[in-house]
Amino acid sequence: MKWMSLALVMALTVGLLGCGDSASSGNKKVTITAPNTVELKPGEKKNFAFTIKREGFDEDVKLSFKGLPEGVKADGPTVKKGDTKYEVPFEAGEKEGETKDATVTAEGPTGLKTDPAKFTVRVKK
């Protein structure tokens, strides 16, 4: 009987408090800062600085880019644990004249909340 009572108390404790990382996963947050404008010439490769601020964790974070102009590529780097700044290589296609608003977001541990950064990407001569 004592063992059943102890097992019940332990099960209720784990159920109410959670276990391991999942109890604190809602507190993990990344804020990304991007340059206002990424400006490239047709065919140009150039690095631009992005910074991240982690809150509640210190693990690798992968950046991903959405909304880039046609022909523009950006390496979605993994920002290693402890690093806060990363030079992201952008490469423009041969087409000029396109300007688009883009977004960078972060992917990381389960429960991660991201404040994405918006910036403008312009390809011109």
pLDDT tens digits for 4-35? 454 444 444 433 333 333 334 468 999 999 99
* CB of 54 closer than 8 Å to CB of 33: no
Q: From CA 8, how far away is CA 2, in angstroms rounded?
A: 10
Q: Is 9 inside a domain boundary? A: no
Q: How many residues does the chain have?
A: 125
Q: Is 15 inside a domain boundary? A: no
Kindly report the CATH number assigned to the domain that includes residue 96: 2.60.40.10
Q: Cite the beta strand spans of 69-125 per DSSP E.
A: 73-74, 78-79, 85-91, 99-107, 113-115, 117-123
Q: Which pLDDT score, from 0 to 100, does residue 21 have?
A: 33
Number of domains in the chain: 1
Alpha-carbon torsion (83, 63, 107, 119), positive or negative: positive
Q: Is 79 inside a domain boundary? A: yes
Average pLDDT, rounded, for the chain? 80
Range of the domain at 56: 24-123
Q: Is 11 inside a domain boundary? A: no
